[in-house]
Amino acid sequence: MRRRRRRDTDTLSLSFLDAICCGFGAIILLIVITKIFEPRLREETTDDVEARLTFLQQRLEDIAIDSERVSDRLSVTEGELERERRRIEELRRELARIESSQADATDAARIAEELEGRLNRARQRLTEEMQRLLADFRRRPEDSPVGGIPIDSEYIIFVIDTSPSMTEYTWPRMMRVMEEILDTYPEVRGMQVMNDMGTYLFSRYAGEWIADTPALRRAVMEGLRNWRPFSNSSPVEGIVRATQTFATRQHGVSIYFLGDEMHGHNLHHAAEQVRRANMGPDGRPMARIHSIGFPVIFDYTGSVQATGLRFAVLMRIITEQNEGTFVALHSGRGRDR
């Protein structure tokens, strides 16, 4: 009995010690394995993070580039859209202009037809009056008024329409009339010549009076022969410049406008411009404004033109408001060249 009890005790103690040793060995082995592989795992984790970061940065750059491309395409598209909007707006305005022009053309045709009838009815009466005035003009004594124009000025200014209708068809006649007007003034203190735009015949005398001498009178007439400055067939600009440049400095100034047609400007507005420019401090005109009308429209176009009627109406208003006289010449015997 004693022997069996000792053997059982020894066997149990040995197995227990073996188990404990194996457990401690396993723990030590795990610790050793962990220590061996721990740096490698950490290194692999850092590499993965850096690779991921590099990938994300590259992807971000790609997205930024794509965003810029999309933005550029969007800007181009917006520019094209704006251009198309402008084209549409221009087409709308053009359509409105066309519709307005059609309406104006219809109204203009109706008005022109009505004016043609009225002017044809008035033509006979005007012809008789112009013939009488021209006869008086040619028979006048040297010291009498020119067609009712008072000769009482010490300074004279000629403002001449230099449009093609004047220079091509009636220029020699205009020069003869101008010579006749000058002959009625044996002597003046100064004279000047400019066109309906305010351009001077002699630029060296711009803003100054031309002395009245026989030689300078001849120079004026000679210079007129081939004088062709630009003209817009409106007397307003030249007359206003003449009054503001000369009539504000001297008394006794007469302005003669020689022309045939009127383009542009509202007639009442044009007359008001001249009236205001020529108004003195006392409310009276500073210079007398006269006009000689040449009937180019009756001679060469085959019919009476509205521009000639506008000229006659405007110059009657201007001369009446500025203590002057308007004389309309008849067509004579044909083309004056």
Q: When comparing pLDDT for 242 and 137, which is higher?
A: 242
Residue 32 has pLDDT above 50, yes or no: yes
* Residue 219: partners with Cβ closer than 8 Å, 6 or more residues away: 202
Our CA angle for 195, 201, 204, nearest 5°, is 135
pLDDT at 204 over 70: yes
| Higher pLDDT pick, 132 / 240 | 240
Number of C-beta neighbours around residue 232 at 10 A: 16
Query: 326 is written with which tokens?
Result: 């308007």
Domain boundaries, the chain: 1-132, 140-328
Q: In the chain, helix, strand, coil percent, each to 5?
A: 65, 10, 25
Mean pLDDT across the stretch 31-39?
62
Q: What is the pLDDT of residue 79?
A: 76
More confident residue, 118 or 313: 313
pTM: 0.56
Task: Locate 42 and state its tokens.
Answer: 């950490």
312 pLDDT higher than 70: yes
82 has a pLDDT exceeding 60:
yes
Of the pLDDT bands very low, low, confident and very high (cuts 50, 70, 90), residue 127 is low
Question: In terms of pLDDT, which residue wins out, 284 or 48?
Answer: 284
Burial 67-90 (b: 16+ CB within 10 A, else e): eeeeeeeeeeeeeeeeeeeeeeee
| pLDDT reading at 142 higher than 50 | no
pLDDT recorded at residue 76:
73
Top pLDDT among 188 and 129 is at 188
CATH number corresponding to 140-328 = 3.40.50.410
Question: Which alpha helices (DSSP H) does 211-305 contain, by range?
Answer: 214-224, 236-242, 267-277, 296-299
